[in-house]
Copies of this chain bind each other. A is one copy, B any other.
Amino acid sequence: MSEWSVQHVTIVGVGLLGGSAGLAIRRHWPEARIAGVGRRQASLEGALALGAIDEMHLAVATPASQTDLVLLCTPVRAFRKMLEEIAPVLPERAWVTDVGSTKADVVARAREVLGEEGRFVGSHPMAGSEKKGASFARADLYEGATCVLTPCEYTPPDVTEAAEAFWDALGMRCVRMDPGSHDRAVARVSHVPHVLATLLMLLPRDRELDLAATGFQGMTRLAEGDPEMWRDILLTNVHPVCDALNDLSAAIGTLRELIRSGDAEAIESLLLQGQRRKREHNGE
């Protein structure tokens, strides 16, 4: 969407995702003015030094009052407060989106604060890393990954289109979903796998970790993720995550009984089913 452009951007939260967005925006729209909003002066200075932002702000009201676009990149449970500060000052044609990993809660908060006619659409750019902080930011973090947009029937169509054009320009593949379906899907393909990495990391006793090899390293890589960000993800996706954890517990219980009873055929069949689905998914 080369005709689409951006002049003033406000990025709230200048960590890995916010910092990478700043670098990507600068690469695609070198003339854009990027305001960074953060809680800590040090983080803002880091993002500035990196070239991810042009201005540093400890509060969102000033930059949001003269912006085309606000991008919320803090942990999701901080969004409500940010939206409350943005609402009174946002210019008429400006719009707001986010990079949060859960959508139903965020969409509901935005509706509460900005109203149904509010110029907000939820985005979940499915890119990231277990590393935290702007120092790991990369201009190409978003490139080639999927971005889920979750417009509702009341979302202004031009806001959804602008968000789509924005993520498209950053090299993402946009898909639209309703917030609930999105949250149920990511509970199973992202949130539960993530917490499992933590629980697996805590499973070995004493010196047992000495025998950990590459398989274990791979299964626990996500345990390095930012605890604050993931706490908020889990707490804004309670029912889908608990449902998925229930199903996983049940599957573990079934497998345990197959092992205990020595049911070789059923165990092999389960492993084969997983192998087949993995290969199909890999396109093999």
Interface string of A179-203 (1 = CB under 8 A from B): 0001011101110111111111111
A202 touching B238 by the CB < 8 A rule?
Answer: no
B271 touching A225 by the CB < 8 A rule?
Answer: yes
**A242 cross-chain contacts in B, Cβ below 8 A:** 256, 259-260
**A224 cross-chain contacts in B, Cβ below 8 A:** 275, 278-279
Binds B, one of A13-21, A23-31, A32-40, A208-216: A208-216
Task: Give A20 Cβ to nearest chain B Cβ, in Å.
Answer: 15
Interface string of A236-262 (1 = CB under 8 A from B): 001001101111110111011001101
* CB contact under 8 A between A146 and B213, given known A235-B259, A252-B245: yes
Task: Give A199 Cβ to nearest chain B Cβ, in Å.
Answer: 5
* CB contact under 8 A between A189 and B201, given known A225-B271, A249-B253: no
Contact of A252 among B199, B275, B278 (CB under 8 A): B199
A53-70 residues with Cβ-Cβ distance < 8 A to B are: none
A193 touching B211 by the CB < 8 A rule?
Answer: no
Residue of B nearest to A266 (CB): B231
**A219 cross-chain contacts in B, Cβ below 8 A:** 193, 196-197, 218-219, 222
A211 touching B199 by the CB < 8 A rule?
Answer: no
Task: Let me know if A152 is at the binding interface, CB within 8 A.
Answer: no
Contact of A200 among B192, B231, B270, B272 (CB under 8 A): B192
B264 touching A235 by the CB < 8 A rule?
Answer: yes
**A248 cross-chain contacts in B, Cβ below 8 A:** 199-200, 203, 252
Task: Let me know if A93 is at the binding interface, CB within 8 A.
Answer: no
A209 touching B230 by the CB < 8 A rule?
Answer: no
Task: Let me know if A228 is at the binding interface, CB within 8 A.
Answer: yes
A185 to B268, CA, bound (A): 23
Contact of A249 among B249, B259, B274 (CB under 8 A): B249
Task: Let me know if A273 is at the binding interface, CB within 8 A.
Answer: yes
| 12 A-B pairs in the complex with CB atoms less than 8 angstroms apart | A126-B211, A146-B213, A188-B208, A190-B213, A200-B248, A201-B278, A203-B244, A224-B275, A228-B268, A234-B267, A235-B264, A245-B259
Residues of A within 8 A of B (CB): 126-128, 145-146, 148, 175, 182, 184-186, 188-190, 192-205, 207-213, 215-216, 218-225, 227-228, 230-231, 234-235, 238, 241-242, 244-249, 251-253, 255-256, 259-260, 262, 264, 267-268, 270-275, 277-279, 281
Closest 6 CB pairs of A and B: A198-B274, A227-B271, A185-B208, A193-B219, A223-B278, A223-B274
Please name 14 further chain A to chain B contacts, defined as beta carbons within 8 Å, in addition to the given A190-B215, A218-B221, sorted by A numbering.
A128-B215, A145-B213, A148-B211, A190-B216, A196-B196, A200-B248, A202-B277, A203-B247, A218-B218, A225-B275, A231-B264, A235-B267, A242-B259, A245-B256
